[in-house]
């Protein structure tokens, strides 16, 4: 890996740090090689471990779903590239699943810089996820403990929700697009002044959106 290290853990809204990494697909510059695209970088504790194997199969099974959203996948663990290669060969042979996305081979430098080393697990990384937008900005960060496998469908939902929010200037409710109150509707940002609050209710009367009250309005988007 190149670049000087400040070991500052990336936060939401920060630019993803510029790093050059060795992967199973060769050297990759992050986020430069993903410029103009969304990407999801996820770390796993180690190759040849049960939960991680199930996660990789799940990420691969949803690979085309992420691609359809313009979102690339990239994995990471503190393992040599030879270990990654043998592991994905094993997954293909034993589980009939060919891993198509790159996996970063890390000595611990990248994981340390991103704040991924589990404090109680030696050099093992936590199950972290960074969802980064086309401008290289961290839009979602999720950490899981080693014993809990990730819900890949939820991560796919987060990418869809972020893209919907960006495109339409809206928020998404709990469990969107299957919200218990509003189904697949999105939330109109709440008014921040009296005039806008009054206008929201008028707009609801004209069918532009629906409002439970001036601060809770929702609508459909395409």
**pLDDT confidence bin for 164, thresholds 50/70/90:** very high
Q: Which CATH class is domain 169-222?
A: alpha beta
User: What is the residue-averaged pLDDT of the chain?
Assistant: 91
Tell me: pLDDT of 37 over 70: yes
Task: For tokens 């050297």, name the residue.
Answer: 27
For residue 39, CA distances in Å to 3, 26, 218 come to 21, 17, 29
Tell me: pLDDT of 158 over 70: yes
Q: Comparing 115 with 76, which gets the higher pLDDT? A: 76
Which pLDDT value is given to residue 190? 87
**pLDDT confidence bin for 206, thresholds 50/70/90:** confident
Domain ranges of the chain: 19-150, 169-222
With beta carbons less than 8 A apart as the criterion, state whether 39 and 73 touch: yes
Lowest-confidence segment of 6-20, 31-45, 71-85 by average pLDDT: 6-20
Integer Cα distance of 125 and 6 in angstroms: 19
Which pLDDT value is given to residue 120? 65
**pLDDT confidence bin for 2, thresholds 50/70/90:** very low
Task: For tokens 């495109």, name the residue.
Answer: 167
The token pair that represents 80 in the structure block: 């040599």
Strand partners, 183: 179
Which pLDDT value is given to residue 5? 42
The token pair that represents 90 in the structure block: 């094993």
Which pLDDT value is given to residue 123? 67
| Total-model pTM | 0.91
pLDDT digits (tens, 9 = 90+) for 103-143: 999 988 888 888 887 676 666 778 999 999 999 999 999 99
DSSP for the chain reads --S----PPP-TTSBPPPEEEEEBTEEEEETGGGTTSEEEEEE-S-SS-HHHHHHHHHHHHTHHHHHHTTEEEEEEESS-HHHHHHHHHHHHHHH-----S-EEE-SSHHHHHHT-B-TTSTTPBPEEEEEE-TTSBEEEEEEE-TTS---HHHHHHHHHHHHHHHHHT-B--TTTTSBTTTBT-EEEPPP-SHHHHHHHHHHHHTTS-EEEETTEEEE---
The token pair that represents 129 in the structure block: 């996820």
The number of residues making up the chain comes to 222
To the nearest whole percent, how much of the chain has pLDDT over 90? Answer: 75
Lowest-confidence segment of 43-52, 54-63, 85-94, 107-116 by average pLDDT: 107-116
Tell me: pLDDT of 4 over 50: no
> Is 52 marked active-site?
yes
CATH of span 19-150: 3.40.30.10
Neighbour tally for 41: CB within 10 Å: 24
Q: Catalytic: which of 52, 71, 211, 217?
A: 52
Closest to 51 measured CA to CA, from 117, 128, 150: 150
């Amino acid at each position: 890996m190149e670049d000087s290290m400040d070991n500052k853990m990336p936060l939401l809204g920060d630019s993803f740090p510029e790093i050059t990494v060795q992967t199973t697909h060769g050297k990759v510059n992050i986020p430069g090689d993903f410029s103009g695209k969304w990407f999801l970088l996820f770390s796993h504790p180690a190759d040849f471990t049960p939960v991680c194997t199930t996660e990789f199969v799940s990420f691969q099974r949803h690979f085309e779903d992420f691609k359809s959203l313009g979102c690339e996948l990239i994995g990471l663990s503190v393992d040599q590239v030879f270990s990654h290669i043998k592991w994905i060969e094993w997954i293909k042979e034993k589980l009939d699943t060919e891993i198509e996305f790159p996996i970063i081979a890390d000595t611990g430098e990248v994981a340390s810089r991103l704040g991924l080393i589990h404090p109680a697990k030696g050099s093992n990384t936590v199950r972290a996820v960074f969802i980064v937008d086309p401008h290289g900005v961290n839009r979602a960060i999720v950490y899981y403990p080693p014993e809990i496998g990730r819900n890949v469908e939820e991560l796919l939902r987060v990418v869809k929700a972020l893209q919907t929010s960006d495109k339409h200037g809206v928020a998404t409710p709990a469990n969107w697009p299957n919200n218990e109150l509003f189904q697949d509707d999105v939330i109109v940002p709440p008014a921040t002044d009296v005039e806008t609050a009054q206008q929201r209710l008028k707009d609801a009367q004209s069918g532009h959106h629906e409002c439970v009250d001036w601060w809770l309005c929702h609508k459909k988007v395409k």
